[in-house]
Amino acid sequence: MPFESVGACRKALLLVTVLVAAVLIAASLAILLALMLRSAADNGSESSYRLPTDVKPVSYALTLAPFIYSSNPGDCYFTGSVSIAVEAVNDTDMFKLHSVRLEVPTVRLRNSTGGDVIVDKIEENVEKQWLTIKLGEPLRAGETYTVLIDRFKGKFVKNGKTGLYLSSSYSENSTEYYLVSSQLEPIHAREVFPCFDEPAMKAEFNVSLVRGREFTALSNMPIKSSSSVPGNTWFSNSVEPKVVIKDDFETTPTMSTYTLAFLVAKFESISHSDSKGRVFTNWLSPELVKKSNFTLSVAAKAIEAFEKLLNVSYKTNITKQAGVPLLNFEAMENWGLIIYQQNILMYNENTTTTLSKLTNALTVSHEIVHQWFGNLVTMKWWNEIWLNEAFSTFYSYLGLEWGSESDLDSHFVMFQKYLFDMNFERKRYKVHPIQMDVSTPTEIDGIFDYIVYQKGASE
């Protein structure tokens, strides 16, 4: 619109007036442009819940040490250190990092030659769930820096099922063992370590987990190396464990924070290799793991089916599935380490109903196809979560077509349309479009509903 009025002025007015008008218009355009740029750049302004994009993460080195070795869950906690290689996209003298309920003692910053960048002030905004780090000198566009946060600490929320959380695992010789597992989708990575917790802010991750000697640590990637260190390296004042193991995992592909996974437990595994030499492993507590081989073969066959169907090869050659006693959802598709409610992985030919067999297989197939829809290709923001969930719900049926289960089409209609209508009535869901604007943490958490999964899949 401003451009049309410039044209009209030129024709109608004398030279002087034109010049004055042009100067005025140029000035107001400049102000308008500056305001627009500011609101675009300052995504993290007071009204927005989005991080500014001036600084982008490239690579993380994260060590997490959960202390789960007390018989009193209230004494359990986790601690860790993270260094984040970042690139300045624009000159800026501040940046923001998500962090929720974490004790963060310091944030330091180094430039590419190892010099310290002065940190002026760290401010926490509890509502926006972030820390604002104000710098004494600006970061320069195009330069790389390292953010260092040593020995942050977090508490396990009582009965929590997000972030890194504690579950009672099983008892042996009257000792109760705990396990710790993670659920980071959609916005819970920030409860585990300070990070840029938005799906489009992808990076690679070098994860290390610290565990007791008789425990197993699992993360997205296979273990690269392990070393023993004294327990008090990580756990202050602890008598036990005297020695802990630090497992370093291979570098992940470039990925979103929400598909990271961390698990420390007394687990055992069974495994299976497919014709291409890819390895599938199920991890569960010792008394359950032997009953899980059906879902192991479902995963392997679903991958072959999806590779044929989508014509994109599967990117992970070691896939782990783990079953835990407590999970917020039925399952979570973390890249390379899918975590399920443990009953979903179990099968007994004499006692499992045909319906459970089918729905459990569909859940496995749903998580497997997420390795393409979501992990490989990710929505920019949570308003498009249906691209993950509705597609995976739809494709989960196609991942089972190898099986003896006939009539998947009518099951699809039954589960996705009929049950959708029924639950929709019964649970009185609020009506909303499949694609919906979401901004606050509560809105983002709330969008994982029947409309996105079931209505999305059957449209």
Q: Does 37 bind ligand NAG (CB under 6 A)?
A: yes
> Any known ligand binding at 188?
no
Tokens of 162: 């997000």
Smallest gap from Cβ 349 to ligand NAG, in A, equals: 6
SS3 262: strand
User: By C-beta, is 243 or 413 nearer to ligand NAG?
Assistant: 243
**Measuring CA to CA, how many Å separate 374 from each of 59, 83, 99, 151, 329?**
20, 26, 23, 32, 16
Q: Does 113 bind ligand NAG (CB under 6 A)?
A: yes
Q: How far apart are CA 329 and CA 155, in angstroms?
A: 22
Are 127 and 136 in contact, with CB atoms under 8 Å apart? no
User: By C-beta, is 9 or 279 nearer to ligand NAG?
Assistant: 279
Size of the site for ligand NAG (CB under 6 A): 30
> Any known ligand binding at 366?
yes
Q: Does 350 bind ligand NAG (CB under 6 A)?
A: yes
Q: Does 269 bind ligand NAG (CB under 6 A)?
A: no
Q: Does 297 bind ligand NAG (CB under 6 A)?
A: yes
Candidates 180-188, 321-329, 344-352, 445-453; binding stretch for ligand NAG (CB under 6 A): 344-352
Smallest gap from Cβ 219 to ligand NAG, in A, equals: 13
Among 348, 380, 414, 433, binds ligand NAG (CB under 6 A): 348
Q: Where are the beta strands (DSSP E) in 140-174?
A: 144-155, 163-172
Among 103, 123, 172, 240, binds ligand NAG (CB under 6 A): 172
Q: How far apart are CA 160 and CA 387, in angstroms?
A: 28
Candidates 292-300, 359-367, 418-426, 434-442; binding stretch for ligand NAG (CB under 6 A): 292-300
Smallest gap from Cβ 444 to ligand NAG, in A, equals: 26
Interacting positions 89-108 with ligand NAG (CB under 6 A): 89-90
Angle at 262 between CA 454 and CA 124, to 5 degrees: 90
Among 43, 70, 81, 83, binds ligand NAG (CB under 6 A): 83
Strands of the sheet containing 130-139, edge to edge, are 92-98, 130-139, 119-125
By the 10 Å C-beta count (0-12 exposed, 13-18 middle, 19+ buried), 170 is classed as: middle
- Residue of 367, 384, 443, 459 with catalytic role: 367
**Quick check: is 198 catalytic?**
no
Q: How far apart are CA 178 and CA 69, in angstroms?
A: 8
Interacting positions 377-416 with ligand NAG (CB under 6 A): none
User: By C-beta, is 173 or 442 nearer to ligand NAG?
Assistant: 173
Q: Does 115 bind ligand NAG (CB under 6 A)?
A: yes
> Any known ligand binding at 411?
no
β-pairing, 318-324 with 279-284? parallel
Q: Does 354 bind ligand NAG (CB under 6 A)?
A: no
Q: Where are the beta strands (DSSP E) in 187-312?
A: 204-212, 216-219, 223-230, 243-249, 262-265, 268-273, 279-284
Q: How far apart are CA 348 and CA 108, in angstroms?
A: 53
The residues, ordered by sequence, that sit 6+ positions from 320 with a Cβ below 8 Å of its Cβ are 218, 280, 281, 282, 283, 336, 337, 338
Nearest to ligand NAG by Cβ — which residue?
115
Among 150, 268, 274, 307, binds ligand NAG (CB under 6 A): 307
Q: Does 144 bind ligand NAG (CB under 6 A)?
A: no
**How close are the terminal C-alpha atoms of the chain, in Å?**
39
User: By C-beta, is 139 or 457 nearer to ligand NAG?
Assistant: 139
Smallest gap from Cβ 418 to ligand NAG, in A, equals: 30
Q: How many residues does the chain have?
A: 459
Tokens of 398: 């196609």
Residues making up the annotated binding site for Zn(2+) are 366, 370, 389
Instruction: Give the binding site for ligand NAG (CB under 6 A).
Output: 37, 41, 59-61, 83, 85, 89-90, 111-113, 115, 172-173, 206, 251, 277, 279, 293-294, 297, 307, 311-313, 317, 348-350
| Residues annotated catalytic, as ranges | 367
Residues making up the annotated binding site are 366, 370, 389
